Amino acid sequence: MTAIERLWGGFELPVKDALHHADGRSHDVVLDPGAPSGFTVLAPFDLEELLAGDPSWVSSVDGLVAADLGEKGLLWGGEGSYGSEGFIARLTAGRALMWAMFFVESDPFDRIRLSGSTAAFTSTSGCEIAVHLDDPRTPVPQPVSNRTA
């Protein structure tokens, strides 16, 4: 079991703007309103090493919105322990983690719009990000602000 799977089992994510895949890959991310997706994926990092330095550096997460993908699983968005935090995640049909993203300053995500293989998430403060359902590192076809509901 990977570090992110262990954390997710307790509904926790690291307090770091990051993308985590269930297989253990993690990447820094930054909110980027100028990017078509609303965020930019940066360098990979070792989550096990990060947590070894401070295992308490986590936030409890709670879902506010979900989109059922049927046999393809579930999208989930919500909040962290503090008011400014938000997260989004893709789960399998059995509710196992596929990937999760956490943002320290996005505010909680409370809306999801689906369009083909892309999902757009909007936070309570209007922060919008769009992801390819299978891998958030895959570029989205158009800016999130140009999508229709």
pLDDT, tens only, 3-15: 999 999 999 999 9
Percent of the chain with pLDDT over 70: 95
Report angle CA 36, 39, 40 to the nearest 5 degrees.
100
Looking at residue 22, the DSSP 8-state letter turns out to be T
pLDDT confidence of residue 139: 87
pLDDT in tens, 85-129: 999 999 999 999 999 999 999 999 999 999 999 999 999 999 999
pLDDT confidence of residue 140: 87
pTM above 0.75, yes or no: yes
Pinpoint the alpha helices (H) of 2-128. Answer: 3-9, 47-53
Report angle CA 78, 83, 85 to the nearest 5 degrees.
55
